[in-house]
A and B are shown apart, each in its own frame.
Chain A
């Protein structure tokens, strides 16, 4: 069965610093992987997705993620943090690509950006 692990429930960076949020997955089939962001008092919105095309995926707001099969990882990065990036971030894997579309979410990582 697929699973997702996000390393670090809280990450704190200074404004302008590199953002790195870690995600590792477990899947017996080639995965579809996603990063969602949840701003305070809002629902989740899609940041980016990997669906077996390019391994480096660019998303909205300057975020990108790289799929590394050998490391079973899909870490999210942004070169320079902005105050508006403060939110909770969720990594997710699609249960069975090409089938149900059900998503399995990680535990979430709260990103704090300090001025």
Chain B
């Protein structure tokens, strides 16, 4: 079984809809991250969380919000989706002992029409 899972894997939605992407992990890691990947831009950090009570904005947090429901769960929400949020979204985790090594989920491909 995968250590980091993301649901859904694919989602098509319309402009203005609220969307939630979910991430779960069984690695026991405290640190979790949300990235978006766009062609030619690599991965950019949206939000990160070092534990349940610690959530921080990343490079491109505008238009997004997150919730850390438990150590194992970290959700990303788009309150009112817009077409330029069409991208591949990745969740990642890292442990406290080697927090520089991140483990990635399989990604969620989101299309906003």
Q: Is B80 an interface residue (CB 8 A)?
A: no
CB neighbours of B92 from chain A (8 A): 43-44
With A34-B100, A43-B105, A102-B58 as known contacts, state yes or no: A108 contacts B42, CB within 8 Å: yes
Q: Chain B interface: which size bin?
A: 20 to 34
Q: How distant is the Cα of A43 from the Cα of B56 in the complex, in angstroms?
A: 23
The answer to whether the Cβ of A25 comes within 8 Å of any Cβ in the partner chain is no
Q: State which size class the interface on A falls in.
A: 20 to 34
Main secondary structure of the interface of B (DSSP, over half): strand
Q: Which residues of chain A are near B58, meaning CB under 8 Å?
A: 102
Q: Which residues of A come within 8 Å of B, CB atoms? A: 4, 6, 9, 32, 34, 36, 41-46, 49, 51, 90, 94, 97, 100-103, 105-108
Interface 1/0 per residue, B76-113 and A, CB below 8 Å:
00000000000000101010000111111111000000
Q: Check A46/B101 contact, CB under 8 A, given A90-B42, A101-B31, A102-B45.
A: yes
Question: In this complex, what residue of B is CB-closest to A110?
Answer: B39
User: Which 7 residue pairs spanning A and B have beta carbons closest together?
Assistant: A101-B99, A43-B104, A105-B42, A105-B43, A44-B104, A107-B42, A94-B100
Given contacts A90-B42, A90-B43, A107-B40, contact A102 B48 (CB under 8 A): yes
Q: Given the complex of chains A and B, what is the CA–CA distance between A43 and B105 in angstroms?
A: 5
Cβ 8 A contact of B107, one of A32, A43, A94, A101: A43
Chain B residues near A107: list those with CB within 8 A. 40-42
